[in-house]
Amino acid sequence: MDAPRPLSVAEAQACLLARFRRADAEAVILSAALGRTLAADITAPRDLPPFTNSAMDGYAVRAIDTVGASVVHPATLAVIGVHAAGDAAPLTIRAGEAAVITTGAPLPAGADAVVRLEETDGGAATVAIRVAVASGTNIRQQGGVIRAGAPLLHAGTRISPGEIGLFAATGSATLPVVRRPRTAILSTGNELVPAGAPMGPGQIPDTNGPMLAALVAQFGGDPLFLGIARDTPEDVRRALDAAPDVDCIITTGGVSVGAYDAVRAVIAARGTLDFWRVQMRPGHPVAFGMIGATPVLALPGNPVAAFVTFHVLVRSALARMLGWSPELPPTIPAGLTRAVAHRGEQQTYVRVRLRAMPTGWEADPAADQAVGNIFSLSETDGLAVIPAHIPGIGAGEIVQAIRLDG
């Protein structure tokens, strides 16, 4: 099999993105919408508030009837009834009249202001108004927040509790979201047993399966674990052929140059291999191709390398399928707390802890950057990017860092 040349990280990201499309839309109820992505621009279906109402408990009045009113010279108005929140709007206020009103109740016809209860004597038959109010005082106008038909939210918005509140306020029960990209995950390796299963000599727990399922879910996908395949083309092929209809497949392990590295050959035999090897570290042997219409991301087996290649490559694929912007993982500038050595020919991702300082972000590299050190991942919330072809980075220098929380 011809080995394609290694790509730069930017080339690999572009090559990969070209193979992904946004997933289709589905309607979800508000209680299931948290974290989902809006699939369409939304306009307000009705005015908000839907009717003009009182912002205070007090008396609905005609502002003109309060001209000159004060504590010393209150204006006395006849109380003609009560508008409470939830009432329809039966009353009409005429000259010299007022109505008791509660917060959220519709404003009676003829009234154009509300006087707060605290600025009256609280009377039942007549009321002494101790303040002059301007027209519009303590009133929430129909459509004052947003008018029917005005833009409400844009496609691509990730739904937070605030947006769920907004949708509920407009009277909507469901909203259109992008379907979660179904992402199959296959671990490969003769040495692997499912996490928690008894381990024989030479065996280790499958770390990547659970970790990648969590990463896929964190970045908006719907993970589906296919299990563990052995290091033979037959077993890898069987596992991939058995995969149900999914939007993409992630494999780990078996993409390096060893005698047991079967995954690349299976992708090439079953479909096309778009790239193999990217100028990045960790993660150099990562491969990508298509089997039929299904993109297959073949990540290295080393868990730290799988983790880094997920953030650098797979995240952007999920972002494209979800319609997120930007698609590439956003970076922040951060000052390195200590120098990192660098061989220079590959873009290096240094596991760091990010700290917000008064002067900006600080990136503190994990003490042990060995690729075998999975412990470092639990202390990491950023990946500092050390570009290829530079000799190294000194303490205090600014680097770009990918935030792992998106």
| Contacts to ligand AMP by CB under 6 A | 187, 189, 191-192, 204, 206-208, 252-254, 256, 258, 300-303
Identity of the residue, 122 or 194, whose beta carbon is nearer to Mg ion in the bound complex = 194
Query: Which residue, 53 or 252, is less far from Mg ion as judged by CB?
Result: 252
CB-wise, 253 or 303, nearer to Mg ion?
253
Closest CA to 318 of 229, 212, 207: 212
| Residue 187 C-beta: closest distance to ligand AMP, Å | 4
Task: Identify the three-state secondary structure at position 40.
Answer: coil
Query: Is residue 211 classed as helix, strand or coil in its secondary structure?
Result: helix
The entry of Mg ion, ligand AMP, none that residue 207 binds, CB within 5 to 8 Å by partner kind: ligand AMP
Pick the closer one to Mg ion by CB: 76 or 232: 232
Per the DSSP assignment, residues forming a β-bridge with 390 are none
Neighbour-count burial of 298, counting CB atoms closer than 10 A to its CB (0-12 exposed, 13-18 middle, 19+ buried): buried
Which is nearer to Mg ion, 301 or 329 (by Cβ)?
301
Q: How far is the CB of 256 from ligand AMP (least distance, A)?
A: 5
Give which of ligand AMP, Mg ion, none residue 74 binds (C-beta under 5 to 8 Å, depending on kind).
Answer: none
Q: Which is nearer to Mg ion, 106 or 189 (CB)?
A: 189
Min dist. Cβ of residue 195 to ligand AMP (A): 9
Using the contact rule CB under 5 A, the part of the chain among 183-191, 213-221, 376-384, 396-404 near Mg ion is 183-191
Binds 206, which of Mg ion, ligand AMP, none (CB < 5 to 8 A, cut-off by type)? ligand AMP
Q: Which residue is nearest to ligand AMP (CB)?
A: 301
By beta-carbon proximity to ligand AMP, the closer residue of 133 and 186 is 186
Q: How far is the CB of 190 from Mg ion (least distance, A)?
A: 7
Task: Evaluate whether 285 touches 300 at the Cβ level (below 8 Å).
Answer: yes
Told to check if 189 binds Mg ion by CB under 5 A, we report yes
Q: How far apart, in whole angstroms, are the C-alpha atoms of residue 354 and residue 360?
A: 10
**Could you tell me which of 329, 249, 262, 238 has the C-alpha nearest to residue 297?**
249
* From Mg ion, ligand AMP, none, interface partner of 204 (C-beta below 5 to 8 A by class): ligand AMP
Give least dist CB 253 to ligand AMP, A: 3
Which residues ranging from 266 to 305 are in contact with Mg ion (CB under 5 A)?
Answer: 301
Nearest to 230 by CA among 188, 184, 187: 188
Of 104, 108, 223, 253, which lies in the binding site for Mg ion, with binding defined by CB under 5 A?
A: 253
228 forms beta bridges with 187
Cβ pair 224, 158 in contact under 8 A: no
* CA–CA gap between residue 163 and residue 169 (Å, rounded): 10
CA distance 294 to 285: 20
The distance of closest approach from Cβ of residue 320 to ligand AMP in the complex, given in angstroms and rounded to an integer, is 26
Rounded to whole angstroms, the Cα distance separating 171 from 168 reads: 5
Placement of tokens 């997933």 in the chain: 23
343 DSSP 8-state letter: -
Residue ranges of alpha helices (H) inside 271-314 are 303-309
One-letter amino acid identity for 273? L
Q: How many Å apart are CA 9 and CA 390, to the nearest integer?
A: 15
Number of residues located near Mg ion, criterion CB under 5 A: 4
* Distance (Å) of CA 260 to CA 189, 263, 297: 9, 9, 18
How many Å apart are CA 94 and CA 110, to the nearest integer?
6
Is there a contact between 347 and 385 (Cβ–Cβ < 8 Å)? Answer: yes
Coil, strand or helix: which one is 308? Answer: helix
* Residue 246 CB, nearest approach to ligand AMP (Å): 19
Q: Does 209 bind Mg ion (CB under 5 A)?
A: no
**Beta carbon nearer to Mg ion, 285 or 301:** 301
Nearest approach in angstroms of CB 189 to ligand AMP is 4
Cis peptide before 282 (omega within 30 of 0): yes
User: Of 105-124, which residues contact Mg ion (CB under 5 A)?
Assistant: none
Question: Is there a contact between 386 and 370 (Cβ–Cβ < 8 Å)?
Answer: no
Query: Which listed option, ligand AMP, Mg ion, none, makes contact with residue 379 (CB within 5 to 8 Å by class)?
Result: none
**Cβ closest to ligand AMP, residue 189 vs residue 382:** 189
Q: For Mg ion, which stretch binds (CB under 5 A), given 115-123, 131-139, 168-176, 189-197?
A: 189-197
Residue 382 interacting with Mg ion (CB under 5 A): no
Complex with ligand AMP: residue 252 or 294, whichever CB lies closer: 252
Interaction site with Mg ion (CB under 5 A) = 189, 253-254, 301
